[in-house]
Amino acid sequence: MRSIVNYGLAILMIVSISGCVARAETETETNGICETVEQGIRLHVDGTYGGYPHSVLRDAVLESVACPSGDAELRAFHTIAIPPPHMRIAVMRPIGQGQQGSLSIMLFSQGHFVIGERMSLSPFSRTQSPFSVKADINLATARLWGDLANRIAQGKRAIP
C-alpha cells in the first residue's frame, strides 16, 4: 500500500511539472511582427484574458499591433532598429463580466527600455472575447510610435 502511494505521488508530481513546463514554453514564445519595417520586431505576449487560453490572446495581439508608419515614425524606428527591438505586450483581464482590465506595452532595444504605454481596457473589451481587445492594442501601439517620433523630433535620445 505504501509503495502505491509513493508511486502515485511521484507520477502526480511528474504530470504537474510537465504541465508547468509546457505552459512556460508557451508563454515565453516570441513572434516576429512589422517585418516590412527594417528587420522587424520581436513580440512577446504576456497576461491572461478572462480564462481564455493564452494562444487565443496571443493571436488577437498579433492581429492588432500597429507598426510604425509615416516618415517621422519610420525615422524614429530606424534609430533603434538594429538589432531588431523587442516589444512586450501584457493584457490583464480578470474572469467575470465587466471586470476592469489593463494593457501595457513596453519597447526594448539593445537590452534597454525605450518607451511604453499603459491604459485601461475599453468597456467593450471588458465584456467580450480576447479579439475585442484588438482596437485597444492598435490604439496603444499607434500612440507608442507617435510618442517615440515626438521624442526624436525634439532632439532627445531614443534610448533614455
> Residue 14's pLDDT is what?
53
C-alpha span between 116 and 77 (Å, rounded): 14
pLDDT at 4: 56
Instruction: Report helix, strand and coil shares of the chain as percent, to nearest 5.
Output: 40, 25, 35
Single pTM value for the model = 0.79
Which 8-state DSSP code applies to residue 52? -
pLDDT in tens, 71-122: 999 999 999 999 999 999 999 998 876 678 999 999 999 999 999 999 999 9
Domain range summary for the chain, segments of one domain joined by +: 30-153
pLDDT given at position 30 = 85
pLDDT of residue 126: 72
| Of 69, 83, 71, the residue nearest 37 (C-alpha) | 69
- Please tell me the predicted confidence (pLDDT) of residue 9: 45
Model pLDDT for residues 3-56, shown as the tens digit of each residue: 554 555 445 545 444 444 444 444 457 899 999 988 999 999 999 998 899 999
* pLDDT score of 100: 83
Stated length of the chain: 160
Strand partners, 118: 104
